[in-house]
Structure 1
Amino acid sequence: MFARPLARAARAGRTSARRFASSSTSVAGSRLATRLTLAAAGAAVIAGTTYAFLPQAHADASRITKAGERIITLEELGKHWQAGSLWVAVDGKVYDVSEFANVHPGGLRILLENGGRDATKLFHAIHPPNTIKKYTKQVPCVGVIDPEELAVLASQRSAEDDRIETARRSLFGVDSVVGLSDFERYAKDLLPLHAWAYYSTGADTEGALAENTAIFRRIFFRPRIMRDVHDVDTSTEFLGVKSSIPVYVAPTARNGLGQPEGEVAVTRGAGATGIFQVLSHYASRSLDEVKAAAREGQQIGWQLYLNPDRERSREAIEDAVAAGAHSIWITADTVTLGKRETERRLNAEANPAPNGKPLSRERQRFGFSAHDTRMSWDDIAFVRKHAPGLPVIVKGVGAWEDVVLAYKYGADAVVLSNHGGRQLDFAQPPMKVLYDVNKNAPQVLHRKNFNIFLDGGVRTGTDVLKALCLGATAVGLGRPFIYAATGWGSDGVEKAVQLLEEEITIGMQLLGVTRVDQLGPQYLDTSKI
């Protein structure tokens, strides 16, 4: 009875392995593909065998525990996998998320992808503690997983678990990393496939993702010589915070998918090197946890996604203020989520729809229920009202005209960003927007009461210098710090900052400057932008 399902699982494993290995830069890519293929088939056999020998008496839905909780079999759980009848299991308890799915902060898709199964590992990787307790009234517990079946689940290891463990055992010390690209190259083998798909991919054809980095390769320096550059100072200050280099940690969600400590590891690395961090609204660790791990005086900004229910936004802002957030960073470019095609494809190949399954005709929901589609410039005042005295930054600006409007409506800063190429495909790269600001609105540059930040595509110290030459106050990096923490925890983050500081110092000396405020457009050739 398991022959056809097992064959499908093995085929899915081979497809996933081929796709995963084909894009790998690791020298062991082909060997990894073979291991994944064999392991996927083996895992399917194990899963089938496990199910076959589970006590069938447990199908009796009337069984209850001594505490009065209904006992639910994995077979019954597996029947509730679609919208309208959606259950997930976490830590042995089964929750009905059918109604909550429509307002789930992380969106409907991830619940559908994990409906009808045990999601404990994923849940703890992407959610702060006490998340379930926070939503108890909205997410009813309908029972507990059969204890015997739960024990079997706990004892199982997947082929992916084995692959990651093998990669970690062979990982060299962090001092052998010589550039930020190394962190990405080695993190790939350390991450679950779904995590790599989430972190690394962009929207649609990934044109915006590619151009974010490519534009830096078309901007050239005009170095000056015969200058005294013996003493170089890479430090700067923005939003009242001193920083060892003009770089900060940009907000990125779900850091816990690759690093058990999640954003806490990044906080420790940022604190050790004296740079600023912005925590994502959808971080794996809470602002309270991150602040507890921070050094004395270390400041943490907090990113905000405005909710259509402004009462929820008010509560979230006030909670962040109470937790000690330094500033509020409104993300404005996610009124709906971009179609992240490569991520979808990787996940679909790993978990394909069964052969012969009819077309799903359920109405597609293109919006994102937790994000407001009715945002306006007046929201700057709304945030400021509930976070009095804190800097308010607008993130996700993709046109120079909106930089001018943000300044007009009282924002303390903007972040030129296309969300790492994950939203609107072929949205202008942030460096092009910064170039346009120089041409069309130079009056908003270098103001004491208004900062311009940039994130997206920055991978070297010279990229940082190019942005500063065009008037950026500082630049944010997201993915490189995720990858650094995935492989080496806080030491990896610290190493990444060391590399950037070295590259910035060398670049400044070769340009002929000793302070970041000496940088300007006269040091660039932008004719090929």
Structure 2
Amino acid sequence: TTLLLPSSLARMAGSENGSNSARSKADCANCKANHYGVASNMPPSVPIRRVDLIDIESLGSGPTAFCRCYKSKTFPLCDGAHNAHNAETGDNAGPVVIKPMPDADVNREFLSETTQEEKLRLPPGSKRANNYGVVSTMPPDAPSRRVDMIDSALAVSRADAEGELRLCRCYKSAIFPLCDGSHQVHNRDTGDNTGPIVLKRGVGVDVANITKAANEPTPRSTPKSTSRSTPRSTLKPTSEPKKPAVLRTISMAEVATHNTPTDLWTVIHGKVYDLSDFVQSHPGGAAVLRMYAGKVADEGFDGVHTEEVIMQNLPAEKLVGLISAGEMQSGTAAAVTAPDIDLCLNLYDFEAVAKRVMKDSSFAYYATGATDEFTKQGNQAIFRRIKLVPTVMVDVSNVSLETTMLGARMSFPVYISGAAKGGLAHADGEVALARAAHTAGVVQMAPHMATRPLREIAAVRTIAQTQFLQLYVEKDRAATARTVREAEELGFKALFITVDSAGIGKRETDLRLTPGGSAPRSVASKRRWADDLSWADLPWLRSLTNLKLVLKGVQSGADAVRAYRAGVDGIVVSNHGGRNLDTARPALEALVEVMDALKREGYVPSQPDGTPGSARATSGTSNRLGCLRKCLGRPVGRASFEVFVDGGVYRGSDVYKALALGARAVGVGRAVLWGLAGYGQQGAERVLEMLYNELHTTMMFMGKRSLAEVDETSLSGVRDAMLANAWSATRENLTSISSSEQPDTHR
């Protein structure tokens, strides 16, 4: 028996693409949400789920409680039905409440009713919420339920900044109580039909009308109790492909027999997939899939994808069965334990821990450079060739490291650079890095090739936090335009366009451990990324967005001047961490040339607090560049142009030297990934904390009270370092055909 909503209520919740159409009773005969009987309101052409679109302007000044037990007679509002539901089922559900919380800590957007002390009093094995594992936030002497409190002002601000605020009702979200899209995987796995509450301004239903609609006469019937073992076919709409009532259990021995390119099965998270028809079209290349033919692919999959990618690319019938829990457990290797984090005294220690705990091929993907790795080695070595010249007898009792980056305030001039595949280090990947950036008070540049979806990375951003997006331009320019629109909608503030990757470097350590390399050279991949990106694309990129544009990968003074004249908002002096073109100059050496060229052009950087410098207009610009400036709407002689650098930074003194040579801020990519690999979010936070403390100490010893006082006069040997060999003349610590070990940590 299906519980059907009144037509007025069924219409009130639009789909995620803006549709307000509801399924007919016939369509909804077997479409139940959260196994509790609330019908789907999605049209037949979209995945089955229940989504409620609410006008956030209608919330009013009092509290608004939204139901998450799916039993309320005023659904999607809460009427207290969770109390009876919990008593009957042993569940632990409760509402999400949006109300004014003027005394709320603005650094915490989503607050529970309980204090940390009360949470600690929860007895071991306390009841779960909604039977999906989210623990109660109520103290033991209160009714057991999960309640989440959200300050209404913060909710409105978040919805305005990102276009909408999504609240999870499947209890599976990694960013609960916010939605991260986990309901799609949950629905597929269980036959469920849940979806989020979506709060938007000026769109959706006025909450004042919900109770009125709920009081209209309506045919209601008591839903039968639906256990999670109910055959999936009874929970799916008749319009979808029919599937077996229960997925059969398959042995690993049977999976192992399907191990050829034309008959290829693999196991991901205990689920058996038939990938035979997908091998040649896999964007990562056929070699990667063949590597896991007839085997468990969790190690290769988790660092690069979430399960959502399976839903997007594979028909449902390609899920052919399940591996028994016992067999999966017996094949699980024991995890390598990281030492106590307090034993890590520097970034080299974090790298050593990462090498110890990571899968060899995953570590190689992060650590490898192109061919002989001279440029990767040189990025780090050049910092050691430049010497510091301290100033003594200066009052440094109050040293400030604060600065701005494209207008975003930062606690110190280091940002998390966009390094791909954060999931190879930790399951939370870029989401954990976003949280670490907030803790450290710095900007996160999210990578285009992130493991976690961009919406998840954006969802954990706090009100005061700023995120940028690193962007690869695709041959399909329409695909790039879609990514840019998504970045705008999700609240990213700038695009860092990678311009040094017309191809992929030959990374031999990576190639030895991963067939085809972790940065694949598959036909599908070559079709995707643009090798035809040129200066002529800049007006088109500017036409797509009002976000700030920064070119990442500039390595010469001439290109820096061209970017400056073209009207972009900044550049990153970078050689892609030495991963593309070996024997290219170290980034710090290129920075010296870049700043010299820009100064000749009349460029004067703004102050660390954002106060503009002075700059003269430049004459003699070519007609072509003049056209670019006109198209981009940016004048020449701008002090708003900013220069950043990344590559080889392991010490706070390295950051100081880069700033003294003209960089506005310094990007770190590998370093935070080492911390993430060993200790998750805490490790990334500790890496940033170390850099902050080391830079602060360097500033004190150098006699500098603020970043405005840091310049090249406090360095010695800069020009000599530019002329010296940037690297040793021999190949050091590289793998060979006789060795599959990783390169040792350079110290």
Look up the match of 1:221.
388
Counterparts in 2 of 1:122 and 1:510: CA distance versus 1, 3 Å: same
Q: Does 1:100 align with 2:244?
A: no
The 5 A counterparts of 1:270-285 are 270-285=437-452
For 1:201-232, what per-residue CA distance to the aligned partner results, in whole angstroms no more than 9, with x for missing partners?
11101111100100111111122223222211
Shift of 1:116: 5.7
For 1:265-308, what per-residue CA distance to the aligned partner results, in whole angstroms no more than 9, with x for missing partners?
11111101101000111111122112222222211111111110
Q: Bigger shift: 394-403 or 208-217? A: 394-403
Matching residue's letter, 2:281: F
Instruction: Give the distance between the partners of 1:125 and 1:459, measured in 2 at CA.
Output: 24
Instruction: Give the distance between the partners of 2:383 and 2:694, measured in 1 at CA.
Output: 15
Whether the aligned pair in 2 keeps the contact of 1:256 and 1:284 (CA below 8 Å) is: yes
Whether the aligned pair in 1 keeps the contact of 2:281 and 2:524 (CA below 8 Å) is: no
Look up the match of 2:302.
124
Matching residue's letter, 1:212: N
Q: Does 1:157 align with 2:331?
A: yes
Look up the match of 1:47.
none
Instruction: Give the distance between the partners of 1:366 and 1:218, measured in 2 at CA.
Output: 43
Look up the match of 1:451.
642
Matching residue's letter, 1:305: Y
The 5 A counterparts of 1:150-229 are 154-157=328-331, 161-162=333-334, 165-168=335-338, 171-172=339-340, 174-229=341-396
Look up the match of 2:431.
264
Look up the match of 1:289.
456
Matching residue's letter, 1:346: L
Gaps of 5+ in 1: 1-63, 351-362
Whether the aligned pair in 2 keeps the contact of 1:188 and 1:196 (CA below 8 Å) is: yes
Q: Bigger shift: 434-443 or 325-334? A: 434-443
Select which of 584, 590, 597 maps to 1:433: 590
Counterparts in 2 of 1:71 and 1:522: CA distance versus 1, 3 Å: same
For 1:235-291, what per-residue CA distance to the aligned partner results, in whole angstroms no more than 9, with x for missing partners?
101111000110000011111122121111111111011010001111111221122
Whether the aligned pair in 1 keeps the contact of 2:561 and 2:597 (CA below 8 Å) is: no
Instruction: Give the distance between the partners of 2:570 and 2:288, measured in 1 at CA.
Output: 33
Instruction: Give the distance between the partners of 1:235 and 1:314, measured in 2 at CA.
Output: 34
Q: Does 1:307 align with 2:474?
A: yes
Look up the match of 1:391.
548
Instruction: Give the distance between the partners of 1:450 and 1:112, measured in 2 at CA.
Output: 47
Shift of 1:97: 1.9
Whether the aligned pair in 2 keeps the contact of 1:243 and 1:274 (CA below 8 Å) is: yes
Instruction: Give the distance between the partners of 2:646 and 2:266, measured in 1 at CA.
Output: 36
Look up the match of 1:34.
none
Secondary structure at the residue paired with 1:183? helix
Whether the aligned pair in 1 keeps the contact of 2:287 and 2:516 (CA below 8 Å) is: no
Select which of 260, 266, 270 maps to 1:79: 260
For 1:320-368, what per-residue CA distance to the aligned partner results, in whole angstroms no more than 9, with x for missing partners?
2111112111111111110100111234699xxxxxxxxxxxx996973
Q: Does 1:510 align with 2:716?
A: no
Counterparts in 2 of 1:80 and 1:116: CA distance versus 1, 3 Å: farther
Look up the match of 1:253.
420
Instruction: Give the distance between the partners of 1:123 and 1:461, measured in 2 at CA.
Output: 35
Instruction: Give the distance between the partners of 2:502 and 2:285, measured in 1 at CA.
Output: 12
Instruction: Give the distance between the partners of 1:289 and 1:367, measured in 2 at CA.
Output: 24
Counterparts in 2 of 1:114 and 1:455: CA distance versus 1, 3 Å: farther
Q: Does 1:374 align with 2:567?
A: no
Whether the aligned pair in 2 keeps the contact of 1:190 and 1:258 (CA below 8 Å) is: no
Look up the match of 1:522.
713
Instruction: Give the distance between the partners of 2:258 and 2:563, measured in 1 at CA.
Output: 49
For 1:176-203, what per-residue CA distance to the aligned partner results, in whole angstroms no more than 9, with x for missing partners?
3221111111111110111111111111
Shift of 1:128: 3.8
Secondary structure at the residue paired with 1:225? coil
The 5 A counterparts of 1:276-355 are 276-347=443-514
Instruction: Give the distance between the partners of 2:359 and 2:537, measured in 1 at CA.
Output: 38
Whether the aligned pair in 1 keeps the contact of 2:288 and 2:514 (CA below 8 Å) is: no
Look up the match of 1:420.
577
Instruction: Give the distance between the partners of 1:86 and 1:334, measured in 2 at CA.
Output: 33
Counterparts in 2 of 1:276 and 1:107: CA distance versus 1, 3 Å: farther
Shift of 1:382: 2.4
Whether the aligned pair in 1 keeps the contact of 2:400 and 2:707 (CA below 8 Å) is: yes
Report the identity percentage: 32
Instruction: Give the distance between the partners of 1:213 and 1:497, measured in 2 at CA.
Output: 18
Shift of 1:112: 5.0
Counterparts in 2 of 1:121 and 1:528: CA distance versus 1, 3 Å: closer
Instruction: Give the distance between the partners of 2:389 and 2:310, measured in 1 at CA.
Output: 56
Whether the aligned pair in 2 keeps the contact of 1:470 and 1:520 (CA below 8 Å) is: yes
Whether the aligned pair in 2 keeps the contact of 1:65 and 1:71 (CA below 8 Å) is: no
Matching residue's letter, 1:123: F
Matching residue's letter, 1:312: A
Instruction: Give the distance between the partners of 1:433 and 1:193, measured in 2 at CA.
Output: 32
Whether the aligned pair in 2 keeps the contact of 1:69 and 1:143 (CA below 8 Å) is: no
Whether the aligned pair in 2 keeps the contact of 1:318 and 1:387 (CA below 8 Å) is: yes
Gaps of 5+ in 2: 1-241, 607-638, 723-747
Matching residue's letter, 2:474: N
Look up the match of 1:17.
none
Whether the aligned pair in 1 keeps the contact of 2:358 and 2:425 (CA below 8 Å) is: yes
Instruction: Give the distance between the partners of 1:98 and 1:370, measured in 2 at CA.
Output: 17
Matching residue's letter, 2:337: A
Instruction: Give the distance between the partners of 1:229 and 1:221, measured in 2 at CA.
Output: 17
Shift of 1:87: 6.4
Whether the aligned pair in 1 keeps the contact of 2:285 and 2:523 (CA below 8 Å) is: no
Whether the aligned pair in 2 keeps the contact of 1:445 and 1:471 (CA below 8 Å) is: no
Secondary structure at the residue paired with 1:395? strand
Secondary structure at the residue paired with 2:572? strand
Q: Does 1:143 align with 2:299?
A: no
Matching residue's letter, 2:486: D
Secondary structure at the residue paired with 1:394? strand
Q: Bigger shift: 463-472 or 251-260? A: 251-260
Counterparts in 2 of 1:379 and 1:349: CA distance versus 1, 3 Å: closer
Matching residue's letter, 1:238: M
Secondary structure at the residue paired with 2:563? helix
For 1:107-127, what per-residue CA distance to the aligned partner results, in whole angstroms no more than 9, with x for missing partners?
565445445644244323322
Instruction: Give the distance between the partners of 1:188 and 1:387, measured in 2 at CA.
Output: 40
For 1:407-451, what per-residue CA distance to the aligned partner results, in whole angstroms no more than 9, with x for missing partners?
122211111111111111111111011111233332345153111
For 1:19-58, what per-residue CA distance to the aligned partner results, in whole angstroms no more than 9, with x for missing partners?
xxxxxxxxxxxxxxxxxxxxxxxxxxxxxxxxxxxxxxxx
Whether the aligned pair in 2 keeps the contact of 1:175 and 1:495 (CA below 8 Å) is: no
Shift of 1:478: 0.5
